[in-house]
Amino acid sequence: MNPNYPHLLSPTKIGGVTLRNRVVMAAMGMSQSDNGFVNQAVLNHYAARAEGGVGAVVVEVTCVDAPLGLNTKGMLVIDDDKYIPGMRQLADVIHAGGAKAFLQISHTGRGARRAIIGQQPVGPSAVPMPYSFMMGLGNETPRALTVEEIHEIEEKYAQAALRAKKAGFDGVELHSVGYYLGQQFLSSTANVRTDEYGGSRENRMRFHLNILRRIRALCGDDFAVIVKISVIEMGKDGGISLADGVYFCKRFQQEGVDALEILAGKWSSEAGKNEKPESAYPDCMAVALCSLMKAGIFLTTGKKATVPLIGGGRAQNPAAAEKALKKGQCEMIFIGHALLVQPDLVNLIEQDREDEIRPCIGCGHCIDHQLQHGGKAICSGNAVLARGENDYTIPPALTKKRVAVIGGGVAGVEAARIAAKRGHEVDLYEKENEIGGQMNVACVPPFKQHLGLLKPWLERQLALTGVQVHLGEEVTREKLLALRPDVIVCATGVNPAKLPIPGIERAKHAKQVLNGEATGKNVVVVGGGSVGCETAELLASQGKRVTVVEMQEDLAANTGKTAQTILLGHLKSRGVRLMTGCRVEQIDEANVICRQKDGGTITLPSDTVVLAVGDVPNDSLYQSLKDDGIELYNIGDANGGGIIPNAVYEGYTVGCRI
């Protein structure tokens, strides 16, 4: 055991269930079931995290009442005995990996989509779910549940817990966070009932208390129960105060809940300038809420809290997690997205190999790809996640080859390290004096600091896998052919787009600005994608007067929904002028002349014009080699790329294919 983390790596208990360490894998929806059934992809996903060293696995949100309670089409389901065999397999693979198995059970309530469930959603009251950039999308007005229907759903929760026990799970977690039904009952704004299920705190808890008592009656006291709860709902539509949160935690403790996982929520359609996206979250950001709950329980009861609290929130930094446990802020640490990126994270910590932990960059694609695009979770750091059957096997190469990778961006490095892991002899050539490619400027704007954590990891991986790295070396077709590699992988990135605009030569490229080139006081940014908007935020934070001009109606449309909302909120709060449906027609020494969607023109004074109109693939090397009969690949931005998950996936799959 790593002596640096005696608390984090020490055993603990949830009820009567002993965990080998204090790391709990948080439940995270993956949307990869087969019509609710456990499949091989689900089994492999959780087996990898259990084998990776966590103390407990909380399996993703699982529906107790399909279709009414579904969140996504790929959501797991446990509302019928037919799901028990698959769930038994799932519990078995988690146990085989050395972890304890908990199943998160839930109903989506007013958050359910008509397109998914085929009918009007239901909730405690006929109050529509407001839009929230943190907790989910707004939704239509639900139908208020009758008391009889509430009783039926309570029983469905309890029966789901019993099925989980029959399947071999060690316990369940009641999901009362975000836009799910559990939180809706606790919230005074979502729940405006005037009967025994609404009004007072105790009445708003009745749904949970009835479920808990019924689970105990069916499953016994040796079956552990965790409640995952938002102890505060912020924003104008928030309906849980900190005082409410303390009361709920105290009552759950009195009711004999075996552990509480503590989080917060926020209902807000816009983000102010101080709101942070996940790419800038501080380490263990939710742990302080555990301290508040402990203090609140002590102040209201005169006794120390006895219910174990599970805290976290970007807790992949083991030093921060250890500190929280040592101070007694919480008893266990939940880790979520970091385990999607690095399944064996805990093993690496235990083996004193923290520099091999691939960081979560906080891009949010794992959530966005499900809720916005109706797909499965994907990851900017893990090419295997929810792709195929989640098979992490990297087969050794049958024939050792000499591989030349051209380009040291994310795609090129991924291809190089995977090919080298398989036993190939790999040389990576990068024309700049450092690897990283576009990532080196992408981490410069405000609130993008976690992206900067990736570069040291990439460098470490190249060293560990024995890739020969050649920096400051631009290669040509002739040089490559002279080197006589067996395989060439082109990951040559992009070139700046060229626009047929009079005066365009007066403009700077966004990358020049992000690399530190000076600008004037009045700046017009041409292009409102993520690069343009993030560059605008950087300039505005420097006190510049900034205007963003975008031909389309949407800004930062290639950004995840949560990050997009926060970014646009920052721009508005900093006074950035946002002009959509607007095309630049001319740039002169002091102005940018634009054509608006109504046909009129507008003149924007500018000291500096910054171009962020999108780059074009730099595939000239690839095109020059296509007819030479060599094994050849074109990946990343040179192949159209787009977003980091795509680049990583292409690099990984090519590395496995060679």
Please give the model's pTM, rounded to 2 decimal places: 0.95
Q: List the catalytic residue out of 46, 83, 180, 197.
A: 180
Q: Where in the chain is the domain with CATH 3.50.50.60?
A: 504-613
pLDDT at position 133: 65
Per-residue model confidence as pLDDT tens digits over 600-628: 999 999 999 999 997 899 999 999 999 88
User: Residue 578: beta bridge partners?
Assistant: 548
Across residues 226-244, what is the average pLDDT? 94
Known catalytic residue: 46? Answer: no
Averaged pLDDT for residues 271-278: 80
Q: Given pLDDT bands bounded at 50, 70 and 90, which one contains residue 255?
A: very high
Tell me what the mean pLDDT of segment 346-357 comes to.
Answer: 97
Burial class (CB in 10 A: 0-12, 13-18, 19+), 472: exposed
pLDDT for the residue numbered 301:
96
- pLDDT digits 0-9 by tens, 394-426: 999 999 999 999 999 999 999 999 999 999 999
* Spatial CA neighbour of 107 closest among 137, 140, 80, 78: 78
Q: Which CATH superfamily is domain 504-613 in?
A: FAD/NAD(P)-binding domain (3.50.50.60)
**Cα separation, 151 vs 76, whole angstroms:** 22
CATH 3.20.20.70 in the chain: give the residue spans.
12-371
Q: What class, spelled out in words, does domain 402-496+617-657 have in CATH?
A: alpha beta
* CATH architecture entry for 12-371: Alpha-Beta Barrel (3.20)
pLDDT digits (tens, 9 = 90+) for 370-391: 777 778 888 999 999 988 899 9
Token pair, residue 381, equals 């750091």
262, β-bridge pairs: 229
In this structure, are residues 317 and 325 in contact, taking their beta carbons and an 8 Å threshold? no
Q: Which two tokens stand for residue 211?
A: 């479920």
What pLDDT is attached to residue 135? 53
Residue 522 confidence class, pLDDT cut points 50, 70, 90: very high
What distance in Å separates the CA atoms of residue 281 and residue 300, rounded to the nearest whole number? 31
